[in-house]
Amino acid sequence: DVVPITRALISVSDKSGIVDLCTYLHSRNVELLSTGGTARALRDAGLPCIDVSDYTGSPECLDGRVKTLHPKVHGGLLGVRGNARHERDMAENGIGLIDMTILNLYPFGATVKSGASFDQCIENVDIGGPSMLRSTAKNHAYTTIVTNPDQYDEVRACMEKNDGGTTLSLRKKYAARAFALSAAYDSTIATWFGKQLGDDGPSSSSVVTRVYRPEFPLKYGCNPHQSPAGISSLLNSELPFKVLNGTPGYINLLDAANAWLLVKELREATGLAAASSFKHVSPAGAAVAVPLTEVECAAYEISVEDASRLTPSALAYLRARNADPMCSFGDYAAVSDVVDEATASILKREVSDGIVAPGYTPEALAILTSKKGGKFIVLEARSDYVPEPVEYREVYGMTFSQRRNDVVITREHMTRNVVTKGGATALTDDAIRDMIVASICVKYTQSNSVGFAKDGMMVGVGAGQQSRVDCVKLAGRKVSTWYLRQHPKVLALQFKKGVKRQDRVNARVRYIEGDFTDEERVRWEAQFEAVPEPLTGAEKDEFMKRATGITISSDAFFPFRDSIDHASKVGVSYVAQPGGSVQDPEVTSCCDDYGMVMSFTDVRLFHH
Amino acid sequence: DVVPITRALISVSDKSGIVDLCTYLHSRNVELLSTGGTARALRDAGLPCIDVSDYTGSPECLDGRVKTLHPKVHGGLLGVRGNARHERDMAENGIGLIDMTILNLYPFGATVKSGASFDQCIENVDIGGPSMLRSTAKNHAYTTIVTNPDQYDEVRACMEKNDGGTTLSLRKKYAARAFALSAAYDSTIATWFGKQLGDDGPSSSSVVTRVYRPEFPLKYGCNPHQSPAGISSLLNSELPFKVLNGTPGYINLLDAANAWLLVKELREATGLAAASSFKHVSPAGAAVAVPLTEVECAAYEISVEDASRLTPSALAYLRARNADPMCSFGDYAAVSDVVDEATASILKREVSDGIVAPGYTPEALAILTSKKGGKFIVLEARSDYVPEPVEYREVYGMTFSQRRNDVVITREHMTRNVVTKGGATALTDDAIRDMIVASICVKYTQSNSVGFAKDGMMVGVGAGQQSRVDCVKLAGRKVSTWYLRQHPKVLALQFKKGVKRQDRVNARVRYIEGDFTDEERVRWEAQFEAVPEPLTGAEKDEFMKRATGITISSDAFFPFRDSIDHASKVGVSYVAQPGGSVQDPEVTSCCDDYGMVMSFTDVRLFHH
């Protein structure tokens, strides 16, 4: 199935690597046909090449619009080798074999993006290129279609191995890619053209083509029986992450995407290093680098001295992990800044699946790649990555498309419409920061959701609920547990030596929750030097009264005052929500009753 | 902007209407160029037509592969009218104007579907057609590209109105459609070609092309600022639903897809009519048609007599809606069977956003389409719909592909590996049914999730949690509330006249939960003839001891016995879970301690 290359037609807009490849082809005695700028580039490099017009004998006319649309070109590409009649026809009509076409299409999307006029865009529609591409691809049993510089090395290697010929498997693979390129090219034109007719959105006159380049297969999808599965990039764009270590799974990567966007936006909005801790595509915690109080140091098991030496990234992750440390067990972590040794050391002692960050110091990378017996997943995020504005998603034969949720949450969202008494002057800078943190957090939490924040740290995230007040209750319970971890009786718990850190974390939470089963109580008590006295309901209530200055943000409006009533029980002072309910006035006056400050952000943040 | 038509090139695979149109063109003195079968058809009708080979003067060769790929054809299509140099070039080279191209591409998908071999499919790839189509469309400032018989009348009318010419607006519209056709054509080829490379799934050797046909735009996506948004079908397949009424939104349709799959699978697995009630892409409830007890009738506010007359669909929805009636407020409903008047009447009194079902009686449809001021969304599901096996989803520049979760949950999953004492003999038919119902339900619940079932009805669904035991606690609280709605003190609550049904539902739930704020208590008490005595914790605990025979299913294994301990408090007798934890033996012996029967299904059901 090897076909020798005797003549090649080259017409490329992207000239990178073309001289090297053609130098090689020339060394293999391949005759080079070319046009315009490509011919000039080859001649400048000292390579002999024949202009297509000379080759066809057809005079240059119509500004070169029909240069390659000629039987001598297409016959040379389409003739069936070994077919006696075809070979006779070719001989009689002076049609020589063309065995390889190297071309790429100047991306039409780039023309559009450059702000070109309608006429300029139309002028840029390539006619000759796609025709040659398609002829060569159709006849790939004999001809080789090369459409991208990233194929040049492979072409060369293949020819080198096959005495100057290419193999059928290479030609077939390249033909498939060529048709995909052609499809993508015309889809871009069709989509643009549809819009020119005055339709903003999709119209029945057009189709949408998404062309994906498979990047790596996954062992399976959401579940082991969901195979095949894989990750692809959009053709001509790259993935947002590089895999530095480990083998990420489907849910890991969903977590990584959301966790990374969350910290990236926190970083941009607050100017502080940020971290998040994901489980099942919602954050268990998230935080920015705000120093710890002494009591927090005790609750999070770090000495005041060690805490003072934490780098901002380490501090942010320590906080993110301590919102709900039981849920964060086995998390996927994200950090907004380059991960340093201090951050890696914090992660090292935690049970965690992987991390995404914009970079790693060599020391940090060494620590992380040795985690989980070398299987800890380490992703490097491209900081400047800008994805396509509209995303597509197939569910049961329906393809959902929507603009990404690219709203940027800013200070202005929190300050421009403070509806409670006193208005925006009642907001402290810390409160604004926490409102931003909580709102960005719910943006990446499965809906319905609310999130509570304090000191730049999420202290209760309520994900995936089906009523607003259920979210508040769920997350409110987490806030209570978080806050009660600072109760003197909790801090005073005396563990036996040898009880592991995660077991100490869990034991404290269970002490606070108090709803032991008999069997559990026995195991629980065995972890202590002496059986701790219970933390009574009254003690908990008393301590919770001290909680204050907490912020709540909701992904959609509060339909009734009940959510605010519940929030008041866990020390909420600040409320951020889109507003828009018929009950807004009642909800507002409820906030006023409790002395809370509430902002209407006008931005709904459902996430699915 | 009118351009007269002097010469037309015609090459169609679909010959319907072509003779009529060409008869008209001939009457307008348009010269007809044509090829092969089209030329024969025209000549048979007595129309003069010139064969393209004669026109170009280039001899027929290579089995006609390059007939139209000639400067005389493409120059005639691409030459710029009114451009002096172009006109001189054309005159000098004997290139005459071709003002119109009428062609259509034989659908490549049809060739593939006919079972053609690889070589036959490749042979069917049209080269000349797309080239002419693209040249004509590019030069639409002067040339008219007609690609479908449904355009012939319009072309004729336009020419008739414009003295034998076409208008720019017509040419532009047709050009846009032509590029869409070309894009779709090559996309079909590219997709087919990718599969031929021997990959079941995506591989690095190829690209994947998904071609979508926009079906309808959405007002916005998940949130109002996420516009544009829309729903498309995969090219050459249809949507799973027809919109009979209303304007579904993004989240409505996500709900509908999951809600429908849930009831369809319940129906197939149990043979009973099924219904589900969705909120935020998880079920608030789901059930199959099992008759109600007298106490349930009282709890769900239906008389025993009315209940006895419920059709299976109505009964299933009544149960589905009563798992968590506060959360089901504003739900998206799905019913497995044709919706009858009885079912529509149950829905009529509930606040609900829409429904999906395989059909509707005229009476039912009349009731539903008048709901919500005519805005109630009614979708008709195609019962025999089979989507593509692999689905694609774009998230932040990564395209996730995976095999759909098409596992069929059966009786065998519940009986083949009963790990507790007594083995499968300890399972009743009702228990097996409930295990199936609960497992299919968690299959369509956002992870982590567990679900509790009783009498074919979900009585507690815990969605979107980040630890297993949190799911159990969350759903367990819902089970308690559901069960306590049957407490004599709840059933005895005396509401004032005029209190609405949903308010009664909510008031009972709040009575059970008991955690009123002061403000709420005042409003709550005002709904009753006399202030009800509280339902004490002791009374609740006492009543909950009677709960029994409940099933729990988990979307992934229980990592510790704590989940079972918690489940024991709400009357669980049966457990379905995949198994696979290192703690399986401990979890099993825990079930044995409580006298529970546990099956390992070996099927994980994460859902994101």
Interchain pair A205, B279: CB under 8 A: no
Residue of A nearest to B136 (CA): A127
Q: Is the pLDDT confidence value at B363 over 80?
A: yes
Q: Which SS3 state, helix, strand or coil, does residue B484 take?
A: helix
Residue of B nearest to A229 (CA): B402
Active site residue A280: yes
Residues of B in contact with A237 (CB under 8 A): 397
Alpha carbon distances (Å) from B105 to A126, A189, A570, B6, B10: 20, 18, 67, 24, 12
How confident is residue B192, by pLDDT bands cut at 50, 70 and 90? Answer: confident
Predicted pLDDT of residue A202: 43
Dihedral (Cα; B292, B295, B298, B302), 10-degree rounding: 20
Hey, of B117, B119, B181, B187, which one would you mutate to test binding to chain A, going by the most A CBs within 10 A of its CB? B187
Interchain pair B134, A122: CB under 8 A: no
Distance, CA of B582 to CA of B409 (rounded, Å): 24
The pLDDT tens digits of the residues spanning A585-595 come to: 999 999 999 99
Residue of A nearest to B182 (CA): A186
Residues of A in contact with B210 (CB under 8 A): 209-210, 212, 392, 394, 399
Interchain pair A399, B173: CB under 8 A: no
CA torsion through residues B123, B128, B129, B131, sign: positive
Interchain pair A194, B212: CB under 8 A: no
Q: Is the pLDDT confidence value at B202 over 50?
A: no
Looking at the complex, report in whole angstroms how far the Cα of residue B310 sits from the nearest Cα belonging to chain A.
28
Q: In chain B, pLDDT over 90 holds for what percent of residues?
A: 86
How confident is residue B537, by pLDDT bands cut at 50, 70 and 90? Answer: very high
CB B544 within 8 A of CB B483: yes
Q: Find the mean pLDDT for residues B119-148.
A: 95
CA torsion through residues B378, B383, B384, B388, sign: positive
Distance, CA of B385 to CA of B197 (rounded, Å): 28
Of residues A15, A138, A348, A607, which has the active-site annotation? A138
Residues of B in contact with A260 (CB under 8 A): 396
Q: Find the mean pLDDT for residues A315-329.
A: 96
Distance, CA of B492 to CA of A539 (rounded, Å): 36
Of residues B138, B372, B421, B569, which has the active-site annotation? B138
Distance, CA of A97 to CA of A144 (rounded, Å): 12
Looking at the complex, report in whole angstroms how far the Cα of residue B388 sits from the nearest Cα belonging to chain A.
7
Q: Find the mean pLDDT for residues B171-192.
A: 89
Dihedral (Cα; B563, B566, B568, B570), 10-degree rounding: -120
CB A414 within 8 A of CB A432: yes
Distance, CA of A430 to CA of A453 (rounded, Å): 11
The pLDDT tens digits of the residues spanning B226-271 come to: 999 999 998 778 999 999 999 999 999 999 999 999 999 999 999 9
Q: Find the mean pLDDT for residues B552-578.
A: 96
Predicted pLDDT of residue B330: 95
- Diameter of chain B by CA atoms? 104
Predicted pLDDT of residue B200: 46
Phi, psi of B448 (to 5 degrees): -65, 150
Give the residue from A605, A198, A199, A599 showing the smallest Cα distance to B226.
A605
Residue of A nearest to B387 (CA): A397
Predicted pLDDT of residue B289: 98
Q: Could you tell me which residues come within 8 angstroms of residue A186 by beta carbon, excluding any fewer than 6 positions away?
A: A130, A209, B134, B179, B182, B183, B186
The pLDDT tens digits of the residues spanning B285-317 come to: 999 999 999 999 999 999 999 999 999 999 999
The pLDDT tens digits of the residues spanning A384-429 come to: 999 999 999 999 999 999 999 999 999 999 999 999 998 999 999 9
Looking at the complex, report in whole angstroms how far the Cα of residue A590 sits from the nearest Cα belonging to chain B.
10
**Partners of A218 in the β-ladder:** A229
CB A176 within 8 A of CB B193: yes
CB B466 within 8 A of CB B578: no
Interchain pair B214, A235: CB under 8 A: no
How do beta strands A100-103 and A144-146 pair? parallel
Measured at the CA of A449, the angle between CA A443 and CA A450, to 5 degrees, comes to 90
Predicted pLDDT of residue A210: 84
Interchain pair A70, B70: CB under 8 A: yes
Hey, of A63, A125, A167, A223, which one would you mutate to test binding to chain B, going by the most B CBs within 10 A of its CB? A223
The residue whose two tokens read 């009498």 is B455
SS3 per residue for A266-323 = HHHHHCCCEEEEEECCEEEEEEECCCCCHHHHHHCCCCHHHHHCCCHHHHHHHHHHCC
Nearest CB to B396; choose among A214, A257, A398: A257
How would DSSP label each residue in A505-542?
HHHHHHHHH----HHHHHHHHTTBSSPPPP--HHHHHH
Q: Find the mean pLDDT for residues B109-128.
A: 92
Interchain pair A398, B127: CB under 8 A: no
Residues of A in contact with B446 (CB under 8 A): 446, 464
CB A354 within 8 A of CB A377: yes
Give the residue from B356, B216, B331 showing the smallest Cα distance to A398.
B216
Of residues B172, B173, B280, B569, which has the active-site annotation? B280
Q: Is the pLDDT confidence value at B581 over 90?
A: yes
Alpha carbon distances (Å) from A177 to A77, A144, A229, B78, B207: 17, 11, 20, 28, 6
Residue of A nearest to B406 (CA): A226
CA torsion through residues A596, A600, A604, A607, sign: negative
Looking at the complex, report in whole angstroms how far the Cα of residue A551 sits from the nearest Cα belonging to chain B.
20
Residue of B nearest to A203 (CA): B214
Q: Is the pLDDT confidence value at A298 over 70?
A: yes
Interchain pair A194, B175: CB under 8 A: no
Looking at the complex, report in whole angstroms how far the Cα of residue B279 sits from the nearest Cα belonging to chain A.
6
The residue whose two tokens read 């491209």 is A382
Interchain pair B228, A200: CB under 8 A: yes
Looking at the complex, report in whole angstroms how far the Cα of residue A66 sits from the nearest Cα belonging to chain B.
6
Interchain pair B221, A402: CB under 8 A: yes
* pTM value surpassing 0.90: no
Interchain pair B398, A280: CB under 8 A: no
What mean pLDDT value characterizes chain B? 94
Distance, CA of A556 to CA of A606 (rounded, Å): 7
Predicted pLDDT of residue B23: 97
Residue A45 amino acid letter: A
Distance, CA of A183 to CA of B178 (rounded, Å): 13
Report helix, strand and coil shares of chain A as percent, to nearest 5: 45, 20, 40
Interchain pair A138, B130: CB under 8 A: no
Q: Is the pLDDT confidence value at A207 over 80?
A: no
Tokens of A457: 């740290």
Looking at the complex, report in whole angstroms how far the Cα of residue A15 sits from the nearest Cα belonging to chain B.
23
Q: Find the mean pLDDT for residues A257-284.
A: 98
Looking at the complex, report in whole angstroms how far the Cα of residue A570 sits from the nearest Cα belonging to chain B.
13
What mean pLDDT value characterizes chain A? 94
**Beta strands of A207-281 (E only): which ranges?**
208-218, 229-234, 241-245, 274-279
Nearest CB to B183; choose among A207, A223, A446: A207
Class of residue B531 by CB neighbours under 10 A (exposed 0-12, middle 13-18, buried 19+) = exposed
Q: Is the pLDDT confidence value at B572 over 70?
A: yes
Of residues A86, A173, A280, A348, which has the active-site annotation? A280
Interchain pair A241, B398: CB under 8 A: yes
The pLDDT tens digits of the residues spanning A35-45 come to: 989 999 999 99
Q: What's the distance, CA A487 to chain centroid?
A: 39
Q: Find the mean pLDDT for residues B10-25.
A: 96
Predicted pLDDT of residue B517: 80
Tokens of A401: 């498309």
Q: In chain A, pLDDT over 70 holds for what percent of residues?
A: 99
Q: Could you tell me which residues come within 8 angstroms of residue B115 by beta carbon, excluding any fewer than 6 positions away?
A: none
Q: In chain B, pLDDT over 70 holds for what percent of residues?
A: 98
CB B508 within 8 A of CB B493: yes
Q: Is the pLDDT confidence value at A584 over 60?
A: yes
CB A154 within 8 A of CB B204: no
Tokens of B564: 């079972």
Give the residue from A396, A400, A392, A12 showing the smallest Cα distance to A212.
A392
Active site residue B607: no
Query: Long-range CB contacts (< 8 A, 24+ apart) of B290-298?
Result: B290/B315, B290/B319, B290/B455, B290/B456, B290/B457, B291/B315, B292/B318, B292/B319, B295/B486, B295/B491, B296/B486, B298/B486, B298/B491
Predicted pLDDT of residue B198: 65
- The number of residues in chain B equals 608
Interchain pair A226, B404: CB under 8 A: yes
- Counting Cα atoms < 13 Å in the Cβ hemisphere of B256 gives 28
Interchain pair A78, B127: CB under 8 A: yes
The pLDDT tens digits of the residues spanning A551-566 come to: 999 999 999 998 999 9
Nearest CB to B399; choose among A93, A208, A212: A212
Predicted pLDDT of residue A200: 45
Alpha carbon distances (Å) from B390 to A220, A393, B208, B400, B403: 12, 12, 12, 10, 4
Q: Find the mean pLDDT for residues B517-544.
A: 93
CA-derived radius of gyration, chain B:
33
Q: What is the count of residue pairs from A and B with beta carbons less than 8 Å apart?
A: 511
Q: Is the pLDDT confidence value at A203 over 50?
A: no
The residue whose two tokens read 């006023």 is A592
The pLDDT tens digits of the residues spanning B60-76 come to: 788 888 889 999 999 99
CB A556 within 8 A of CB A468: yes
Residues of A in contact with B320 (CB under 8 A): none
Q: In chain A, pLDDT over 90 holds for what percent of residues?
A: 86
Predicted pLDDT of residue A515: 85
Residues of B in contact with A85 (CB under 8 A): 63
